Structure 1
Amino acid sequence: MTRLKTLLLCGYCSLALAVAGCQEEKRSAEPPRPVRAVIAKPVALSEEVAQTGEIQATIETDLGFRIDGRVATRNVEVGMDVTKGQLLATLDPNDVQNGVRTAEAEVKRADAEEGLARSGLDRQRTLFDKHFVARARVEEAEVGWRTASARLSVAKTELQSARNKLTYTELRAPDAAIVSAVAVNAGQVVNAGQTAIKLASTHERDAIFNVSERVYTAVPSDVQVEVALLSDPGVKVIGLIRDASPTADPATRTYRVRIRLPDAPPAMTLGATVTGRLVLPGKPLIVLPASALTNEDGKPAVFVVQPSTQELVRKPVMVARYTATQALVESGLAEGDAVVTAGVSKLRPGQKVAYDAAQVAQ
């Protein structure tokens, strides 16, 4: 009985080995799987970038009074157009006018003293010529006249300063502009230099954009930017970069770029929303169908056919950007690699495949 069991067990083992051998032989005899493939070939592709921004004045000026005082009048409101020399606001001039009157009186007094000293000098010179006085008296009179003359000069300078100070009670527009902000009201006491009114010049306008680091580092300084109104794309102008922020905004991590707009259309008013378009210079990228992508450890990858063995190798790749139907690969592939483009979810590394080389080369 034991011998019979042994024989049966040996028979089962022989049968299992035979079946496994047949399966292995069947796998080794499995024909290569037909696949579609493309040959990797880097192509320099330009990229159009569109960004939304706004129109701002090239020159914005914070105006303030040059002296302390109490605001007497304010003649403008936000949004008003002003012309060069237009009166914007005034300070109470009473104290300054009193200073002017005091300086005028001081000039009159100094002028009288200078006239008296000059007459005395002339008299002493006449007496000296007739030998009635010594030369020392003449020299003493000359000193007195020079002192009085100097006092008169100082008094005139102080009067001019007082009159200038009187003009400082008036705040006038340095050029044609638009009032963009108002920070004072009548009756308010202000310090010298304190911002009272902000003006935006109407002579030149810029388009301001906040761009990502990728665009900021890729754009050359002489690039041309097409700027068009968001509300009316037909209103557009070609601009150049005026300046760019050297550091990123700490909150948004974007860079501020200012585009100069020569002869900007009147419709591009201050604060208008615009769209800026530019073409970035291309760098070598390999264009693949989106169907060619698989993944390895959660990162993009593709299957490449080894030319010597016709077996598949999975290669991780870095994708620069995507379109609706394509993936633009920046690195991970070499020129001439045969990349499988369909059915990648059913493929495995090391699998033998076959493809039409003539069709791939087309």
Structure 2
Amino acid sequence: MTFSRHAPSGATLLLALFTLAACQEPPPAAEKPRPVRTVKATPIDGGEEITQTGEVRPHVETDLGFRIDGRVTSRQVEIGASVQKGELLATLDDTNVANELRAAEADLASATAAESLAKTTLERQQILLDKQIVAQVRVDEADANWRSAKARLDAAASALANAKARLSYTRLLAPETGVITAIGANAGQVVPAGQMVVRLASSRERDAVFNVAESVINNAPPDIEVKVTLVSDPSVVLSGRVRDVSPTADPSTRTYRVRVALPDTPPLSYGAVVTGSVRYLAGRSIALPASALTAENGQPAVYVVEPRSKTLKRKPVTVSRYTASTIYVTSGLAAGDDIVTAGVSKLRPDQIVAFDGDVK
């Protein structure tokens, strides 16, 4: 048996060389610098002044109503009326209450007479006992009758006092000096006890009320001073302190109501439009676009371009205040740092970059 050996042809060798070359991957191309937009970190002094528009409101507004139910016979005031303490505001029909008062006076007169008779009887029985004309049981019986009559007299006196008080409840008086801001009942209307008839704004204390965004509330320093200026007369400038902040946001505007206590002089009319100005960040800070903010380990950070290697470094920073378009950094950066302000979500540390103006 004869074996034959066939040598590969030239075409076969050429095909094998092309197949081997196709299996080898080309070397990776060098990464091109990514263009970035930057700003220079420039510290500023004195912080930023924020101005908000609000209005003057009374610190205390009280809904005043009658302590008993009845029909309103008169209302003496209208909205905007200035009233003094003790001034008559409204009255109720007092016919039934006046009848109750007369009945209470009659009961008191009857109880007074009965108590006087019982006391005289007790004194007489005591004299007879001393002369041994009556037994002790007669004195005890007279004493019990007098004590019972005295108790009825005390009850009648209390009932008369209550009737007088109910008669006074038919007259609604101003508990303090102020201004009427709302009306809740008119003459002829039957009202239950406690229903608001008028609303009285006390003139003792005034507040400037502002609706403020959450970002301003969260970053406000404690015991901050607010400069309040009257819009109709800019020469009237007052200095107030924050009295209170509403614990919940308005469901429509998502803002918080802030009350600023105003001094008593000069008095401002209720509803007057004012502006409130506060200054944040009294020390040095760096203002950056909000688009520069990223995060590292859940904390605020920004990307800084290393000047020599043109690589990115992610630096943690301390942000004192946020607005819709700006952040204020108080630590973590140095003056002159190049801060990346756009596309930070697509960047990574140590990435080579080029300034946007250098890319052709």
TM-score, with structure 2 as normaliser: 0.74
Which residue of the partner structure matches residue 276 of structure 1?
276
Which residue of the partner structure matches residue 62 of structure 2?
61
Question: What SS is found at the alignment partner of 1:151?
Answer: helix
Question: What SS is found at the alignment partner of 1:149?
Answer: helix
Is 2:200 the partner of 1:199?
Answer: yes
Q: Give the Å deviation of 1:283.
A: 7.0
Which residue of the partner structure matches residue 339 of structure 1?
338
Map 1:128-139; keep pairs closer than 5 Å. 128-139=129-140
CA separation in 2, counterparts of 1:100 and 1:73? 22
CA separation in 2, counterparts of 1:274 and 1:134? 88
Letter of the structure 2 residue corresponding to residue 56 of structure 1: R
Q: Give the Å deviation of 1:170.
A: 0.2
CA deviations on 1:35-69 (whole Å, 9 max, x unpaired) are: xx986465565121100100001111110100011
Higher helix share: 1
Which residue of the partner structure matches residue 145 of structure 1?
146
Letter of the structure 1 residue corresponding to residue 305 of structure 2: V
CA deviations on 1:84-111 (whole Å, 9 max, x unpaired) are: 1000000001100000000000011111
Question: What SS is found at the alignment partner of 1:278?
Answer: strand
CA separation in 1, counterparts of 2:184 and 2:258? 28
Which residue of the partner structure matches residue 10 of structure 2?
none
1:331–1:121 CA distance, 2 compared to 1 (3 A): closer
CA separation in 1, counterparts of 2:304 and 2:220? 34
Q: Percent identity?
A: 45
CA separation in 1, counterparts of 2:155 and 2:284? 76
CA separation in 1, counterparts of 2:98 and 2:244? 46
Which residue of the partner structure matches residue 359 of structure 1?
none
Letter of the structure 1 residue corresponding to residue 81 of structure 2: M
Map 1:140-289; keep pairs closer than 5 Å. 140-266=141-267, 268-282=268-282, 285-287=285-287
Asked whether the 8 Å contact 2:211–2:257 carries over to 1, the reply is yes
Q: Give the Å deviation of 1:331.
A: 9.6
CA deviations on 1:191-223 (whole Å, 9 max, x unpaired) are: 111111100111211100111111101112311
CA separation in 2, counterparts of 1:39 and 1:104? 90
1:123–1:315 CA distance, 2 compared to 1 (3 A): closer
CA separation in 1, counterparts of 2:123 and 2:331? 103
Letter of the structure 1 residue corresponding to residue 99 of structure 2: N
Letter of the structure 2 residue corresponding to residue 335 of structure 1: A
CA deviations on 1:315-343 (whole Å, 9 max, x unpaired) are: 799995699xxx766499843775289xx
1:64–1:285 CA distance, 2 compared to 1 (3 A): same
Asked whether the 8 Å contact 1:316–1:332 carries over to 2, the reply is no
Map 1:71-86; keep pairs closer than 5 Å. 71-86=72-87
Which residue of the partner structure matches residue 124 of structure 1?
125
Question: What SS is found at the alignment partner of 1:222?
Answer: coil
Which residue of the partner structure matches residue 48 of structure 1?
49
Q: Which ranges of structure 2 fall in alignment gaps of 5 or more residues?
A: 1-28, 30-37, 295-301, 341-350, 356-360
Q: Give the Å deviation of 1:282.
A: 4.8
Asked whether the 8 Å contact 1:107–1:156 carries over to 2, the reply is yes
CA deviations on 1:225-254 (whole Å, 9 max, x unpaired) are: 000112222111000011111222222111
Question: What SS is found at the alignment partner of 1:240?
Answer: strand
Q: Give the Å deviation of 1:255.
A: 1.0
1:80–1:252 CA distance, 2 compared to 1 (3 A): same
CA separation in 1, counterparts of 2:140 and 2:215? 82
CA separation in 1, counterparts of 2:221 and 2:287? 24
Q: Give the Å deviation of 1:125.
A: 1.3
Map 1:287-326; keep pairs closer than 5 Å. 287=287, 304-307=305-308, 309=309, 311=310, 313=312
Letter of the structure 2 residue corresponding to residue 339 of structure 1: D
Asked whether the 8 Å contact 1:305–1:340 carries over to 2, the reply is no
CA separation in 2, counterparts of 1:161 and 1:295? 71
CA separation in 2, counterparts of 1:137 and 1:351? 118
Letter of the structure 1 residue corresponding to residue 75 of structure 2: R
Asked whether the 8 Å contact 1:315–1:332 carries over to 2, the reply is no
Q: Which ranges of structure 1 fall in alignment gaps of 5 or more residues?
A: 1-23, 25-36, 342-348, 354-362
Which residue of the partner structure matches residue 360 of structure 1?
none
CA separation in 1, counterparts of 2:103 and 2:50? 67
Instruction: Output the aligned Cα RMSD.
Output: 3.7
Question: What SS is found at the alignment partner of 1:238?
Answer: strand
Asked whether the 8 Å contact 2:43–2:286 carries over to 1, the reply is yes
Asked whether the 8 Å contact 1:182–1:197 carries over to 2, the reply is yes
CA separation in 2, counterparts of 1:148 and 1:214? 73
CA separation in 2, counterparts of 1:182 and 1:111? 45
